[in-house]
Amino acid sequence: MRISEERERVRDRLAAMSGDFSSARAGFGREDVAEPTVPDWLLESDDDDDEELEPLTPRFQAVPDRWRDMRWSPRRRGALALVIVALVATGIGVFTVWWGSPTMQAVPPLPAAVGVPITASGQPSTSEPPSPPIESSRAAAPVGLVVSVVGLVRNPGLVTLPDGSRVADALTAAGGVNAGADTLSLNLAQKLSDGDQVVVGVVGDSAPKTSSTAAGTGGAPAAPAGGGLINLNTATEAELDTLPGVGPVTASAIAAWRTSNGKFTDVEQLGEVDGIGPARLDKLRPLVSV
């Protein structure tokens, strides 16, 4: 709708209204009646009614007819409000973009699997894991044998040997045998146990050359053949030889100590005899008397 048509309609309505009120104003003087106030823009002549209007652009044609003649002229407050709204919208957009952006975070390294080898393809190997190493302290724990070597040897007494040692090793640890010692009756290849005794005698001696007196068997020592205690002061060498762990050489050593020092006054004095150590003394204590 053109502007000229709108103006014509307004003028017609005003003319009709002024005609309706003409009778009411007839009795009054013309000076008492004020002329109707008409807006200036209605009184303006429409000089461009006959002029050919420029063709409307497609964008302008898309605007509704009632909005085409409107003018937008914001004041200072309106412009300031629009600027504030634009700034707030910009801030919200920036904050949204910043909040949604990914952040870099350090990831701790994964612990390596213990005992699970990784193949070239990156998959764990299905083979059995290697066995844990044996602690050196356990492997290096000293374990040995304590053996008594008596008789015709250079250094009779207790010797300490490693596990698996034999009679020949015990004789070597005792300094070797003396002249006239009978080594043919000894089984030099026999393995020794902890607490064994090796007796080196003379040729023709029929006494056993080795005897097992290992401690910790849990049983009580064997009793003498007679069933009673053997008196260390009155027993002969043959009677002393019947004691467990006491051979002919040890029996002779007991008799020699008795001759040199007199009678035994205490069983504990057996510990002073060559060839009788603490372990052997513990076994002989319940079998002898003074």
Max avg pLDDT among 100-104, 116-120, 143-147 = 143-147
Note the pLDDT tens digit of each residue in 14-57: 877 776 555 545 544 455 545 555 556 555 555 554 444 555 56
* H or E stretch at 81: helix 76-100
The secondary structure of residue 117, as a DSSP letter, is -
Nearest to 159 by CA among 151, 168, 148, 144: 148
Give the tokens for residue 212: 């097992």
Of the candidates 256, 281, 252, 278, the residue with the CA atom closest to the CA atom of residue 267: 281
Residue 119: predicted pLDDT: 58
pTM, 2 dp:
0.29
Average pLDDT along the chain: 72
The answer to whether residues 196 and 147 touch, using CB atoms and an 8 Å cutoff, is: yes
The pLDDT tens digits for 155-164 are: 988 999 999 8
- Token pair 């904050």 is found at 95
Q: Walk me through the domains of the chain, giving residue ranges and CATH numbers.
A: 3-68 (no CATH), 144-214 (3.10.20), 218-290 (1.10.150.320)
| Residues whose CB is less than 8 angstroms from the CB of residue 119 and which lie 6 or more positions away in sequence, other chains included | 125
- The H-or-E segment that residue 289 falls in is strand 288-289
Q: Are 166 and 188 in contact (CB under 8 A)?
A: yes
Nearest C-alpha neighbor of 237 from the set 209, 219, 257, 218: 257
For residue 233, what are the contacts with CB-CB under 8 A and spacing of at least 6? Answer: 258, 263, 264, 290
Q: Which residue has the higher pLDDT, 184 or 196?
A: 196
Residue 215: band (very low, low, confident or very high) from pLDDT cuts 50, 70, 90: very low
Helix or strand or coil: residue 109?
Answer: coil
Sequence-distant (6+) residues with CB within 8 A of 222 are: 244
- Mean pLDDT value across residues 217-243: 67
129 has a pLDDT exceeding 60: no
What CA–CA distance (Å, rounded) separates 221 from 122? 67
Q: What is the pLDDT of residue 21?
A: 52
Q: Which residues, including other chains, have CB under 8 Å from residue 25's CB and lie 6 or more apart?
A: 33
Beta bridge mates, 289: 231
**Max CA-CA distance within the chain?**
186
Region 109-118 average pLDDT: 60
pLDDT of 90 strictly over 70: yes
Least confident of 80-84, 118-122, 244-248: 118-122
Q: What pLDDT sits at residue 126?
A: 56
